[in-house]
A and B are shown apart, each in its own frame.
Chain A
């Protein structure tokens, strides 16, 4: 079977495809989130050191993962858009940024709520916390920069440069707990080593991470559809689409 992938690289053909994919990802996100929360709060055992308070990990760690993964994906889309001058790639990058910023904020806030009872402080300027805060500023900077330039093509290029330069921060966040002494503990899950947490805890965390993935895809597709309509509003396919929906509305 030979699928022509480039067919979907134009907004006109991607718009209906994205519309069809959204419900699937949204339902998957909802089901996985319910399953993940049930495992996290009802099945996973109490922790030997932190008691019940450790359960915030089931939101904190997946959100922190997503904050980094989304940034990398966003930077890749932005880079492809810059190199190929591809409209849709740049739109994908733009669509991902707000979700990435939200997950970064969630990671920071849940981390702070967790830090107070366990470490004894809401916030410290150690390498992990500081670099994650910088990530939030990078997301906000990307969003603000794109919004401040009227010409969408110029906005894409400027945003892409910022996204690519900022990508250097992601490995810094990830390895900060290895490279420097930090208050934040090391990672419980490492490549090529046994996870340092009980199996059910790990399962809950991974399912929550999957749920966040599905949510991210669903929301990014919704957002990219809006961006497509807005940017291509003078194109024929958008006019046709609005005529069709107008006539449907009358019927």
Chain B
């Protein structure tokens, strides 16, 4: 069956796009480890993080772990991925959304004592948006053990 010239061009474009897509997939797969913005405390524990150079740790700020030193600037807190934890020391201004139980990404190095010395701390917020009253109602419902549609990550 002979194809018309324009149909042939459509087929060629289709094949071309498929090949480019495949190439992109392979490249992104190969760079998988470079595409991550931060490592989890579990990965830190397993030693999957770069040695000697700085990297980022992401997770949640462990509840009741935030302590401020007397100088008012240095803070100690613990980042958790709910499986493992990493203690962090940071000297500087924290973003407004930095809160216990909320997401955080810290850049820095692990010291000899296993404590992560952060040079920059960023807040990572979730994709849920709602009025305070709704958030309050959700919290109450959760405390009463009801299951609700809104997942908190």
**Cβ of A120 under 8 Å from chain B:** yes
Q: For chains A and B in complex, what number of residue pairs have CB atoms within 8 angstroms?
A: 117
Please state if B129 and A79 are interface contacts (CB–CB under 8 Å): no
**Known interface pairs A46-B132, A194-B149. Does A118 touch B37 (Cβ–Cβ under 8 Å)?**
no
Candidate in A82, A84, A183 with the most chain B CB atoms within 10 angstroms:
A183
How would residues 1 to 42 of chain B score, 1 for a CB under 8 Å from any chain A CB and 0 otherwise? 000001001100100110011001000100010011110100
Please state if B131 and A172 are interface contacts (CB–CB under 8 Å): no
Please state if B24 and A168 are interface contacts (CB–CB under 8 Å): yes
Residues of chain B lying within 8 A (CB to CB) of residue A201:
129-130
**Known interface pairs A45-B131, A119-B123, A197-B130. Does A181 touch B37 (Cβ–Cβ under 8 Å)?**
yes
Interface 9-mer from A30-38, A47-55, A96-104: A47-55
Residues of chain A lying within 8 A (CB to CB) of residue B144:
none
Please state if B127 and A183 are interface contacts (CB–CB under 8 Å): no
How would residues 193 to 205 of chain A score, 1 for a CB under 8 Å from any chain B CB and 0 otherwise? 0101110010000
B112-153 residues with Cβ-Cβ distance < 8 A to A are 120-136, 149-150
Please state if A164 and B16 are interface contacts (CB–CB under 8 Å): yes
Chain A's closest residue to B37 (CB) is A126
Shortest Cβ distance from residue B73 to the other chain A in the assembled complex, whole angstroms: 15
Please state if A49 and B13 are interface contacts (CB–CB under 8 Å): no
Chain A's closest residue to B99 (CB) is A49
**Known interface pairs A45-B131, A120-B122, A164-B16. Does A83 touch B9 (Cβ–Cβ under 8 Å)?**
yes
Shortest Cβ distance from residue B58 to the other chain A in the assembled complex, whole angstroms: 6
Please state if A196 and B127 are interface contacts (CB–CB under 8 Å): yes
Chain A's closest residue to B92 (CB) is A120
**Number of residues from B at the complex interface, CB < 8 A:** 42
Please state if A172 and B126 are interface contacts (CB–CB under 8 Å): no
Report Cα–Cα, A100/B41, bound state, in Å. Answer: 40
**Cβ of A185 under 8 Å from chain B:** yes
**Known interface pairs A168-B20, A180-B37, A181-B37. Does A197 touch B128 (Cβ–Cβ under 8 Å)?**
yes
**Cβ of B50 under 8 Å from chain A:** no
Report Cα–Cα, A180/B131, bound state, in Å. Answer: 29
Which 6 residue pairs across A and B have the least CB separation, nearest first?
A120-B95, A45-B131, A48-B135, A197-B129, A83-B9, A126-B37
Could you list 28 A-B pairs, sorted by A, with CB under 8 Å? Answer: A45-B130, A45-B131, A47-B130, A48-B130, A49-B135, A54-B129, A83-B6, A83-B10, A84-B6, A117-B95, A117-B96, A118-B96, A119-B95, A119-B97, A119-B122, A120-B95, A124-B122, A165-B20, A180-B32, A181-B38, A183-B38, A185-B124, A185-B126, A187-B127, A196-B126, A196-B128, A198-B131, A198-B134
**A residues in contact (CB < 8 Å) with B:** 45-50, 54, 57, 79, 82-85, 117-121, 124-127, 164-165, 167-168, 172, 179-183, 185-188, 194, 196-198, 201
